[in-house]
Amino acid sequence: MTLLTVRDLTVDFGSGIRAVDGLDLDLDTGQVLGVVGESGSGKSVTSLAVLGLLQGATVSGEIRFDGRELTTLDQRSLRRLRGDRIAMVFQDPLSCLNPYYTVAFQIAEAYRAHHRAGRREAHKVAVRMLERVGIPEPERRARCYPHEFSGGMRQRVMIAMALCLEPDLLIADEPTTALDVTVQAQILDLLRELRREVGTAIMLITHDMGVVAGLADHVVVMHQGHAVERGAVRDVFRRPQQPYTRGLLACVPRIDGPLPHRLPTLEMTG
Amino acid sequence: MILYLLRRLAVTAAILVVICAASFAIFYLMPADPAQGACGKACSPERIAEIRATLGLNRPLPVQFWDYLVGIVSGRTYGTGAQAVNCPFPCLGFSFQTDQPVWPMLTSRLPVSISIALGAAVLWLAVGVAAGVVSALRRGSLWDRAAMTAALGGVSLPIYFTALVLQYLLVVKLNVLPYPRVVPVTQDPAGWAQSMVMPWITLAMLYAGVYARITRGEMLDSLGQNYVRTARAKGLPEVTVVRRHALRPALMPIVTIFGMDLGALLGGALITESVFGLPGVGKLAADAIAGADQPVILGVTLFAAAFVVLANLAVDLVYAVLDPRVRAVG
């Protein structure tokens, strides 16, 4: 069943900058869609457009989520969707958590934004979520502030916050980019596990082909605001049709291949 | 935390001693002879010599300074024998003009200064912060530009000008307020508020402008933070996003300058009190300066400095409560 359909999405910022240009996306319930591309290809702008969080931009085209058109939805209804049915995990978990509140408070706050729940009840939910995303001693750690956590733990908090309402769609914008490699693997495992348990569809935005290969069912390759290639992950990785995709794949070092003298880089186009 | 507090208190005391030394040096190195000042006009040379001995002015300056410090901590006695005058703790000397001990003069003037400072502070915080928040939320709007222009005007107008214009309009022309006078808040709260309204507005106009501009800048900064975007992505109502996630961080720098401003004002609003003729610490300072009353000037200086230094200490402690990251370090 189709959960999210994006048709001809175009995002313009003032002074003639077009970040996304006629993009189409489809995401089915419970599926993982990888959106890959280099910096500035319009990936993050697309995710913010879905949530209606873009400021100072003109958005045109269609964004249909579960049968509802989001681009014309009023702020109030959009707010009800955010967090509850569409949640988001951002790239840099330190700057995305408010330094003035405990991690449990920030998770509980998301829960209380959509449920009639008292502070104690919401706090219990937060502790349970912290446990679920693998924070040791969740009872005690719940009262910590973001600066007392490591990068990986902060990202776990972000994921706990996003998943405490069991959303239909999780938009993960570069969820592992700010983390070191071992922690990246843990976070990807966590996302995979939660997807299986909760059944949340994930729109995974990344520039890292390895992340897509490990988690996504389908992939869309973006370049300069367009989708240049799309398809099942296996097909795109085995038989990339576009030169750009081939270039992107060639930039990823292979653990089982011959060691190149120097890694290929993307040639600047346009 | 207790260790931190003790360390801060020690530093605070050291700062006060330095301020004390500096002001002491300035006043006692001035050409005006304190003995002459204490004696008044048409004073015989014998009388001056006698006063010099009583006040200890014939002794070396460091010794005089030491006596002054001891007097503050434990009180002291001027002169000897039958003419001995006891100056109880905390002794800041006697006024040349009135022969009153300086400390009670200061404390009796304090309620007026507190009334002025606290009332004005409430007013400028409310107006300044509110205007700054609205300006930040509607950046570039007509309101924003009007408020920021008004803020610039408020900062630019000198206090004596605002005070006189207010007095002319509200008291003389429109007759809606009585001329400011001292009404203890405990006896007649309404009368107290009425007589304080003009000083409050006068001071608030100056400070509200500063606070509005700072609040606007800080709010624009915090509204652009990633955690504000996270708060929106959670589906929080916009009011909660602004209040809880944008305003709270924006208030931190405001706490800092507020502490210092309030501390400075508690030590006397010199011009405001003088223009409205309210007998606060600031008016005392103005009168003492006019009469070259050295012990009183010195006393007011120390008193005001103590307020600023203590307010700074209070700000740092409040900071530790407000910001979890400071707490961890302290």
Q: Cβ distance A40 to A207 under 8 Å?
A: no
Structural domain ending residue among the three candidates B87, B115, B143: B87
User: Is residue A175 classed as helix, strand or coil in its secondary structure?
Assistant: coil
Q: Which positions in chain A touch B236 (Cβ < 8 Å)?
A: 79, 83, 109-110, 113
Greatest Cα pair distance, chain A, in angstroms, is 60
- Per-residue pLDDT, A258: 67
What gap in Å lies between CA B184 and CA B189, rounded to an integer? Answer: 7
Give me the pLDDT at residue A270, please.
47
B289 and B220 within one domain: yes
Min Cα–Cα distance to chain B from A20, Å:
20
Of A29-43, A56-70, B56-70, B206-220, give the lowest mean pLDDT range.
Answer: B56-70
Whether A269 has a pLDDT exceeding 60, the answer reads no
Residues of chain B under the 70 pLDDT cut: 30-32, 80-83, 327-330
Q: Output the pLDDT for position A260.
A: 66
pLDDT tens per residue across span B231-289: 999 999 999 999 999 999 999 889 889 998 998 888 878 888 888 888 889 999 999 88
Chain A touched by B324 (CB under 8 Å): yes
Q: Which ranges of chain B does DSSP label H, i.e. alpha helix?
A: 2-28, 34-39, 45-55, 61-74, 102-137, 142-156, 159-166, 189-223, 226-233, 238-240, 248-266, 270-276, 281-290, 294-322, 324-329
Both B148 and B250 in one domain: the answer is yes
In a domain, B254, yes or no: yes
Mutate to test the interface with A, among B234, B319, B329 (most CBs of A within 10 A): B234
B2 to chain A, closest Cα gap in Å: 22
Q: Is the pTM of this model over 0.90?
A: no
SS3 assignment, position B121: helix
Residues B169 and B231 in one domain: yes
pLDDT, mean of residues A100-124: 93
Distance, in Å, from the CA atom of B101 to the CA atom of B85, rounded to the nearest integer, reads 11
- What confidence tens digit (pLDDT) does each residue in A137-147 have? 999 999 999 99
E-strand stretches of A2-124: 2-13, 17-28, 32-36, 57-65, 68-69, 86-89
- Same domain (yes/no): B114, B28: no
Q: How far apart are CA A3 and CA B139, in angstroms?
A: 37
Quote the tokens at residue B139. Answer: 């950046």
Q: Is the peptide bond before B90 cis (omega within 30 degrees of 0)?
A: yes
A12 pLDDT higher than 60:
yes
Count of residues making up chain B: 330
User: Does residue A256 have a pLDDT over 80?
Assistant: no
- Helix and strand element counts for chain A (H, E): 11, 10
Average pLDDT over residues A77-89: 93
Higher pLDDT pick, B99 / A118: A118
Inter-chain CB proximity A145 and B324 less than 8 Å: yes
Whether the per-residue pLDDT at A69 is higher than 70: the answer is yes
Domains in chain B, number: 2
Q: Which residue of chain A is at minimal alpha-carbon distance from B250?
A: A100
Domain that holds residue B63: 18-87
Q: Which two tokens stand for residue B161?
A: 């000008």
> Is residue B208 in a domain?
yes
Task: Give A104 or B86, the one with higher predicted confidence.
Answer: A104
Domain final position from B28, B61, B87: B87
Give the pLDDT of residue B330. Answer: 44
